[in-house]
Structure formats: structure tokens, C-alpha cells
Amino acid sequence: MVILVTAGLAMAGAAANNPAFKTLPNGLVTYKLSKFHGPCKRQYTVYEFQAHRADAWAQSTAKQVKAFGASHCLKVINQDAGGYQNVSKQLDQMEAAIARKPNAIILWTTDPTAVAGVVKKARAKGIKVIGFTAPPNATTDAVVGGDWHIDGGLMMNAIAKKIGRSGDVLAIWGGAGGSYQTDLAAGATKASKAYPNVKLITKTIPDFDPAKVQPLVENELTRNPNLKGVITSIAVMAGGAADAIEIAGKTGKVFTVSGLIGSKENIQDIKTGRIGFMVGVPSVFYSNEVVIVLANLLNGKPYPKKVVIPGQVFTAANISTPGALKWELRPEFLK
């Protein structure tokens, strides 16, 4: 199956620039970047704003945008808000950047609605804005990201099938208040309606700390003998859930599902079954694609207006497939 993931092109005759992804029967995805129309006309100054840099995925993204941008027309200045809760800090960072008149902004929002006014201000001053990962609820020049509703639904479907479509599932969503948390939760809740014998219990935490996940799972295991599964936003959090399950002697009886890889240890967790199912979010592909889209835009070349990047489904059966992890994290995070 081939999935076209762009919605509109910035210039006519640009169909060859449309990225397309093929989902394989084993759950993995073949990724193909948009075409870069070089050479660079000149170097452009770009600010890349991130909601946080608390895990390997976010750190890998920042490094890759900067490194890949350097060879694709862009001088990238990375800035980190320090967490989805730090909305005012990101707004201050953006205002300061606008005053320096960069050519463009790559924006992973803390709060997609709160930043809308600053996005409008930047564009009014001729600064190009690319919505990235968690884009703003505002008009931008392009968007590159995933669809967390789909990923939340994939997690819910996976755990429901794993537990035989009956039992309680505890979902712990990190980054409370951010669009990543709210959209994952919405997707999982919608998918849960297909499983009338599965009860979804939802909790949120402000960050993605596995130490905060473990006691929540321990408490639920103690009070709820019908708990059969745990969903977490990212694989680092799932490590805390797996620890609680093992301590309670529930290995093989309560199962875990998670979102993106956060460390090399998480890969081993998938291989051993501590994490039964994971929706991968390819940080290197995200980074390269947003750089290419922006470089083409600034060079006046064809670029896709919207790219929705599908995640691939990792299990113990497919994660060792050659090339499976190519796009997930930069090599230093996989050592």
C-alpha cells in the first residue's frame, strides 16, 4: 500500500516532489524524502523552536535539523522551551527571534493555540514559518509532522487485541496539555469505542519521566485485578510501567504498548517483550524532511505544503530487520 501524504503543492508541476510512503506487511515503512532542488542560492538563518529536549528523540531531532540544515542552505539556531508547560518561555523566545529578523522559523509548539498570534506576527514581517511535529493552530507556510490521533489509535488497537479484547487498560499520557498528549489521548479514546469489553483508564503527567509512571502502574495493579494493559506516550515511560509489572509478578499477564523510541535500552525492551508494541516516530526523517521543505521554499523551488509522516509499528518480530531503525534516531543514540 502506498500512502500519499501531502496536501497541496506550493508550485505547479511539482508532483515529483510529493513524498510517498509504503507500509509493508510486517508493519515497517519505507520512507522517501522530498526532492531537494539545489544548489543553494544563499545561506538562510533559521530558528528551530522545540517544546522540550527531555529525551533522545527530541535531542536527536535538534541535532539532525542543525547538521542536515548546514548542507541544505540553512544556518539553524536551536532553542528549547524546556517542556510543554513553558508556554510563556517559548513565546518570549519567538518574540526575541522575530526581532532578529531571521529568514524562517521551524516551530514545534508548546501550545498550538497560544502561539498563534506570534506566528501571525512573524509571517507579517516576511518570516516563513514551518509547523513541525506539533504545529500551531495558525496559518503557516508549510507543515511537516505526524498524526498523533492515528498513533494513539494504533496503540489502543494493539493493546486491545493483545489482551483478547477484554479487560482494563491504563493509559498514561506525558506532556500534559501539549498537543502530543491531547491528540494521542483523543485517538486512543476514539479507537476504544470499538472494544466494548475494554475499559480505558486515563491519567496524565507533566513530563515523560518513567519514575512518575511506575507508582501509577503499581497503584493500579494493587487496586484493580482486571488491569491487563498499559499504554504510555513514549518507550522511556513504558520502562517504568514494565518495572512495576515485573515487581508485581504480572509479567506475561499485563502488557505494555508505547510511542516513540527514547533510548537504546527501549530497543532491547521491544526485543525481550517488556514493550510489546511500539509506534515508531522517525526523528531523522522528520528532521531531514523539514529541512528540505524549508530549503526549497526559501530557494523558490517546489515544496509540499503539508507532509504527514506515518509511524512504523515495531515488535519483537520486526525490530531487528536490517534498516528498520535507520530513520528513528541519530547513530549516537543507538550505540
Residue 217, C-alpha cell as written in the block: 502502574
The pLDDT of residue 44 is 98
Average pLDDT estimate for 203-227:
96
Q: What percent of the chain has pLDDT over 90?
A: 85
The pLDDT of residue 10 is 54
Q: 306: helix, coil or strand?
A: strand
The pLDDT of residue 2 is 32
Residue 48, C-alpha cell as written in the block: 528551530
- Is 2-146+281-333 in CATH node 3.90.1570.10? no
Domain ranges of the chain: 2-146+281-333, 148-280
The pLDDT of residue 179 is 86
pTM attached to this predicted model:
0.89
pLDDT beyond 50 at 14: no
Which CATH number describes the domain made up of 148-280? Answer: 3.40.50.2300
The pLDDT of residue 45 is 98
Nearest CA among 223, 224, 231, 164 for reference residue 204: 231
List pLDDT tens digits, range 253-295.
999 999 988 888 889 999 999 999 999 999 999 999 999 999 9
Label residue 129 exposed, middle or buried (CB < 10 Å: 0-12, 13-18, 19+): buried
The pLDDT of residue 6 is 43
Q: In whole numbers, what is the pLDDT of the chain averaged over residues?
A: 92
Cα(94)–Cα(72) distance, rounded to whole angstroms? 23
The pLDDT of residue 316 is 94
Are 2-146+281-333 and 148-280 in the same CATH fold? yes
Helices (H), 16-113: 56-70, 87-99
pLDDT greater at residue 146 or residue 264: 146
Average pLDDT estimate for 11-17:
46
